[in-house]
Structure 1
Amino acid sequence: MTDPDMADKIYIEPIHWRNIEKIIAIEKPDAILPTMGGQTALNTTLDLNRHKILEKYNVEIIGASVDSIDMAEDRELFKNAMTDIGLETPRAYVAKDFDKALVIQKDIGYPIIIRPSFTLGGSGGGIAYNKQDFEKIVKRGLDLSPTNEVLLEESVIGWKEFEMEVVRDKNDNCIIVCSIENLDPMGVHTGDSITIAPAQTLTDKEYQNLRNQSIQVLRKIGVDTGGSNVQFAINPDNGKIYVIEMNPRVSRSSALASKATGFPIAKVAAKLAIGYTLDELRNEITGDVIPSSFEPSIDYIVTKIPRFAFEKFKEADYHLTTQMKSVGEVMAIGSCFKESLQKALRGLEVGIDGFDEIIFEESLSPKERQDLIVKEISTPSSNRILYVAQAFREGMSIDDVFNLSGIDKWFLNQVYEIIISENEIKINQLI
């Protein structure tokens, strides 16, 4: 968007409502499309509306209304909206100061999830297991939230996490571009989790349920045109579904879904915002043979692995929570999950070719080595998947690793089969 060959005008300015007002005064646009600029664009648009700038210059908001942005981003409004349409969310309450937060915590107990409103990548949020962590995270969250409020939510740590990329037009035509499954259970920010598209462990009934609920969410929130991302948690024991949140904009997950399916979500969303409908737009990936109203279908597996830079920040905690810590990501395509996973690991450019064996210090006893593996598997971290593979090398069973990590057994079995193949290659000296 800052390419002079693409944009008519470019302004290199801090994104603040006062600067945007100056640009609006100069350029006199008819409309503003906030759903393409991430969380910053949404927050800035709300500021412009709050200060009556859009009204002053007669600028129309397209793609999503102020009310829909507010309802999606304000934790309390979103929870109430989901209740209105009969969808369940985790038990949660909003606090605007620390004293109120303490009262809520006593009701919910520990562990408790803290989610600041209107922040990017879960900034300021986290999971508190004790009073010391709680005080630190809540105060940080209140400080970082533009509205100085946090949502205190019951823990659904260990539940399976899914995302649905949805596109809707002005005629209420809705399609699911892609389903995305998080390998890590709830408790890790989706930007820090290994994710797989399409989802691998959903039954057809569960998928159709998530599909229907995603469309319900878009209609209730009021995203009239464009793409949105809806996140769900599913209890692996009984199949209970909670709606976690939705992003009323083109997001990081939208970029992944676009690359995974070839469906240009941002381009389509922009055209929908100016009045086109899905059936009027042709799907480029099919050579314009079919319209964009057909849901993409893929016969391959896409795996995304986040890239961290903890080696540059020695004092940073490499364990993962609901606050995003990754600095980038790699994506790989394969005919099966095992292929795409190993391609993605190699693509991280961290000196590994896949599930390289972990070299432990020689001074560690077998018991100490086992304890270290158990510790690394039990707590989400940037390299947990490598320790999962190492656990299988050390003789741990799939059930053992599942009980420690909460990672779905289907994924664990895939990693286990990779290690079995590795052992066969070693035994038969095939390389």
Structure 2
Amino acid sequence: EHPVLIDRFLEDAFEGDVDAIADGRRCVIGGVMQHIEDAGVHSGDSACVLPPYLIGDRQVEEMRRYTQAFAQALGVVGLINVQYAIKDGVVYVLEVNPRASRTVPFVSKATGVSLAKLAAAVMVGHTLDELGIPDDLPLPGVAVKEAVFPFTKLPGVDTILGPEMRSTGEVMGLADSFGMAFAKAQIAADGSLPSTGAIFVTVNDSDKPTVLPIVRRFHEMGFRIVATEGTARYLRARGVPAERVAKVHEGRPNAIDLIVSGEAQLLINTPLGKFTQADDYAIRRAALMHRVPYTTTMSAASAACDAIIALRSRTGSVRSLQEWHERTTAEKQPRAGAKAPEPSPTPAVRA
């Protein structure tokens, strides 16, 4: 009378998205994207990067091949989206959607090719060959999509991401490197990252081994590390200097005071047990209301570290989308007197 759905969850898995277009005979991959947040966070809320930067060439090629096989088996004429999870080198299929997905505008802007326009053309009888669509769409750099959330407008809402979609918009960063593209996306989402100051870290026990190398990188860049008791003790025992700050229920001054006073420039927080659940929620809300950038996943914390390194190197530049795509077109044009290159197999996408 009351059925219960039991679903298998892949912990610490990467999630991937593939958008493609098919005409019933041929399927062209629009883009293979990697979610920055772990599998389990709604695809609409997770940042993603095109091309993938942590998924191996073999897994990327598998996702491309599977997507083309699905399109052919289903007789898709138009757009198709397939979501994957990658754990321990194994590719799992999560969803096959014979329709347009929310990432189609992102892929279209990144490649300069309107997938929706092509889909309309093939749906009225044109083929991809007639439209002159190559097997690989041009990609001028690394593109990062970031979600925009309305948390400041919704008092009492927690900022922890999960399977329910909460974002209300998206922005995009485009650059020559993942770090700079992620940094641009954060700036566009009104979440500018610090170049100096203090990193406040409070994570659950299972995330401590993962956060250690991330915090070590911040320390090597000259950031001051501040942490709650358990996290600080773990970091110090492994050679990373960390100042202790009291939790909310431990008296004053505490973690909230640290944020309110402007002494913390970035918060790295993952949910703890029931005893400290209220503390964690209060810390995240304080960071949100005082405009302190925060991350609630280890993958996002690592990406933020890459972005700060890129910002400090100042190697990025600002170009319009048209300039990015013009550069790609120019690079494809042969130089006067140059010999045409020999044809070669399509390489797997690699960040």
Same fold (TM over 0.5): yes
Q: Which residue of 1 aligns with 2:55?
A: 202
Q: Which residue of 2 aligns with 1:414?
A: 306
Q: Percent identity?
A: 25
Matches within 5 A, 1:85-234: 99-101=2-4, 152-170=6-24, 172-220=25-73, 222-234=74-86
Change in Cα spacing, 1:410 to 1:204, as seen in structure 2 (3 Å) is: farther
Offset of 1:157 from its aligned partner? 3.1
Asked if structure 1 preserves the Cα contact closer than 8 Å seen for 2:27 and 2:72, the reply is no
Distance 1:410 1:353 in 2: 15
Asked if structure 2 preserves the Cα contact closer than 8 Å seen for 1:192 and 1:324, the reply is yes
Give the aligned residue type for 1:226. G
Distance 1:240 1:298 in 2: 26
Matches within 5 A, 1:27-426: 99-101=2-4, 152-170=6-24, 172-220=25-73, 222-235=74-87, 238-281=88-131, 291-348=132-189, 350=190, 352-355=191-194, 366-368=243-245, 373=267, 375-376=269-270, 386-387=293-294, 405-407=297-299, 411=303, 414-415=306-307, 417-418=309-310
Asked if structure 1 preserves the Cα contact closer than 8 Å seen for 2:182 and 2:304, the reply is no
Q: Identify the range of structure 1 (266-275 vs 368-377) with the bigger mean alpha-carbon deviation.
A: 368-377
Offset of 1:315 from its aligned partner? 2.2
Distance 2:96 2:164 in 1: 16
Distance 1:343 1:412 in 2: 11
Distance 2:149 2:246 in 1: 24
Q: Identify the range of structure 1 (195-204 vs 320-329) with the bigger mean alpha-carbon deviation.
A: 195-204
Give the aligned residue type for 1:192. D
Gaps of 5+ in 2: 201-225, 230-242, 249-254, 256-266, 273-279, 315-351
Distance 1:328 1:306 in 2: 6
Distance 1:191 1:154 in 2: 21
Give the aligned residue type for 1:168. A
Give the aligned residue type for 2:151. F
Change in Cα spacing, 1:219 to 1:374, as seen in structure 2 (3 Å) is: same
Change in Cα spacing, 1:209 to 1:276, as seen in structure 2 (3 Å) is: same
Change in Cα spacing, 1:358 to 1:188, as seen in structure 2 (3 Å) is: farther
Instruction: Specify the SS of the correspondent of 1:297.
Output: coil
Asked if structure 1 preserves the Cα contact closer than 8 Å seen for 2:112 and 2:138, the reply is no
| Alignment: residue pair count | 244
Instruction: Specify the SS of the correspondent of 1:279.
Output: coil
Give the aligned residue type for 2:122. L
Distance 1:353 1:377 in 2: 23
Q: Deviations over 1:366-405 (max 9, x none)?
A: 42379965634879989899446xxxxxxxxxxxxxxx94
Asked if structure 2 preserves the Cα contact closer than 8 Å seen for 1:376 and 1:387, the reply is no
Gaps of 5+ in 1: 1-96, 105-151, 282-290, 389-403, 423-431
Offset of 1:317 from its aligned partner? 2.4
Q: Deviations over 1:388-430 (max 9, x none)?
A: 6xxxxxxxxxxxxxxx9452997476247348759xxxxxxxx
Distance 2:86 2:302 in 1: 15
Asked if structure 1 preserves the Cα contact closer than 8 Å seen for 2:18 and 2:32, the reply is yes
Give the aligned residue type for 1:218. A
Offset of 1:333 from its aligned partner? 0.9
Which gives a bigger RCO, structure 1 or 2 (Cα 8 Å, sep 6+)?
2
Give the aligned residue type for 1:253. T
More helix, by proportion:
1
Offset of 1:249 from its aligned partner? 1.2
Change in Cα spacing, 1:267 to 1:309, as seen in structure 2 (3 Å) is: same
Asked if structure 2 preserves the Cα contact closer than 8 Å seen for 1:196 and 1:304, the reply is yes
Offset of 1:312 from its aligned partner? 0.8
Q: Which residue of 2 aligns with 1:19?
A: none
Asked if structure 2 preserves the Cα contact closer than 8 Å seen for 1:189 and 1:322, the reply is yes
Q: Deviations over 1:77-123 (max 9, x none)?
A: xxxxxxxxxxxxxxxxxxxx6x220xx5xxxxxxxxxxxxxxxxxxx
Offset of 1:217 from its aligned partner? 2.0
Distance 2:300 2:192 in 1: 24
Instruction: Specify the SS of the correspondent of 1:168.
Output: strand
Give the aligned residue type for 2:98. P
Distance 1:163 1:305 in 2: 14
Change in Cα spacing, 1:310 to 1:416, as seen in structure 2 (3 Å) is: closer
